[in-house]
Amino acid sequence: MEKKGRIIIHTGNGKGKTTAALGTVFRALGHGQKVCMIQFIKGQGKYGERLFAETIDNLDWYICGKGFVFNKEQIDEDKEVAEEGFALAADRIASDCYDLVVLDELTYLPNLDFLPIEKIVETLKAKPQRLSIIITGRDAPTEFVELADTVSEIVVVKHAFQQGIKAQKGVEF
Ligand code: ATP
Ligand code: MG
C-alpha cells in the first residue's frame, strides 16, 4: 500500500516551529527521502540552516519573501511575492517529486490577507497521497487545523529576547 502522507502544523508564539520542521527534514533525509523547503515572508539573511541546505542532495530550498513587512505602502508588493511564492509551492506539491514539503511561515499568507484561505486549503487537499506537508507559523487558521492530522502549539514559557538578549547566530538564525 502506498504511504499516506500527513499534514502537520507547528503553531503558537513559542520558539521552535521552524526548527522542529527542520528536525523532521533531517529525519526524512536520513531515510533517503526527497524534501522541499519553501520559506514565505523571510529575508535573504544568512540563516545557518540555509547555508547547510546548499550542501545537501535531496533537499530543494526556496525563499519567497523579503522579510516581514507591516507597512501599508508595500502591501501590494508583498501580496505579489506571496502569490508567486504560493504558485511555486502549489507546483512543487503537485509535482509528486517529494516525500516531505515544508511551508515555513505559511500562516502569514492568509492571516495578512495575501491569499484566500480557500485557495490554500484546496491545494493542500489535492496533494499527492504519499506527500507529507508541514506548515509553520503563528496563529494557524482554523481551516488549517481542521484539515491537519497533527497540530502542535508551542507556548512561550519564557524567551531570552524578553530579557534583552538579541538573536544569536546558530540559535536563532
Ligand atoms: P525557530 O526558527 O527558532 O524554530 P520559530 O519558527 O518558532 O523559531 P518564528 O515566529 O518563525 O519562530 O520566529 C522568527 C525568529 O524569532 C526566529 O529567529 C526565532 O528563533 C525567534 N523567536 C521565536 N519565538 C520567539 C519569541 N517568543 N520571542 C522572541 N523571538 C522568538
Ligand atoms: Mg519560524
Q: In this predicted model, what pLDDT tens digit does every residue of 16-31 receive, in sequence order?
A: 999 999 999 999 999 9
Q: What is the pLDDT of residue 22?
A: 98
Q: What is the pTM of this model?
A: 0.94
As beta bridge partners, residue 136 has 10
Contact 136, 41 (CB under 8 A): no
How many other C-beta atoms lie within 10 A of the C-beta of residue 17? 25
Atom index in ligand 1 nearest the CA of residue 161 equals 29
Q: What is the pLDDT of residue 100?
A: 98
Q: What is the pLDDT of residue 67?
A: 65
Q: Is the CB of 129 under 6 A from ligand 1?
A: no
Among 1-15, 67-81, 144-158, which stretch is predicted with the lowest mean pLDDT? Answer: 67-81
Is the pLDDT at 68 greater than 60, yes or no?
no
The conformation of residue 166, written as its DSSP 8-state character, comes to: P
Q: What is the mean predicted confidence (pLDDT) over 63-78? A: 73
User: Looking at ligand 1, which residue's alpha carbon is closest to its atom 27?
Assistant: 14
Is the pLDDT at 75 greater than 80, yes or no?
no
Largest CA distance in the chain: 52
Q: Is the CB of 11 under 6 A from ligand 1?
A: no
Q: What is the pLDDT of residue 70?
A: 60
Report residue 117 as a C-alpha cell.
Answer: 484561505
pLDDT band, residue 66 (cuts 50/70/90): confident
User: Which among 39, 126, 115 has a CA at the least distance from the CA of 90?
Assistant: 126
Q: What is the pLDDT of residue 130?
A: 97
How many other C-beta atoms lie within 10 A of the C-beta of residue 139? 12
Ligand 1, residues 18, 106, 159: which to mutate, most atoms within 8 A of Cβ? 18
Strand 59-63, strand 150-153: pairing: unpaired
Specify the amino acid at residue 119.
K
| All domains in the chain, ordered by first residue | 7-163 (3.40.50.300)
Is the pLDDT at 1 greater than 80, yes or no?
no
User: Which among 76, 82, 72, 151 has a CA at the least distance from the CA of 119?
Assistant: 82
Atom index in ligand 1 nearest the CA of residue 21 equals 4
